[in-house]
């Protein structure tokens, strides 16, 4: 059985799809309370704002602002008291 290019999946598209599913599942588990953290994780993984917007169904400007706000916000659970 020989494989042609039309038989092979688009690896990049498949990975984007899996990443989108994982991000969506994470948001649902967290009740969307930490949705911005998901965007930061994706950005830190090297995805562009446009790619994150596509994966999350948001506008690129919204994603950019969310990432900026999340990075300015102190991390949760870091207090001693």
Q: What is the pLDDT of residues 23-71, one digit of tens each?
A: 878 877 877 666 667 888 888 888 889 888 888 889 999 999 999 998 8
pTM: 0.59
Residue 17: per-residue pLDDT: 73
Q: At what angle do helices 35-44 and 11-29 cross, to 10 degrees?
A: 150
Helices (H) and strands (E) in the chain, counts: 4, 0
Residue 38: per-residue pLDDT: 80
């Amino acid at each position: 059985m020989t494989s042609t290019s039309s038989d092979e999946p688009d690896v990049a598209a498949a990975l984007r799809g899996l990443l989108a599913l994982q991000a969506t599942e994470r948001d649902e588990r967290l009740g969307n309370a930490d949705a911005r953290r998901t965007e930061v994780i994706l950005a830190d993984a090297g995805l562009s704002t446009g790619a994150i917007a596509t994966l999350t169904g948001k506008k690129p400007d919204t994603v950019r602002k969310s990432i900026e706000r999340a990075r300015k916000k102190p991390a949760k659970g870091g207090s001693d008291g």
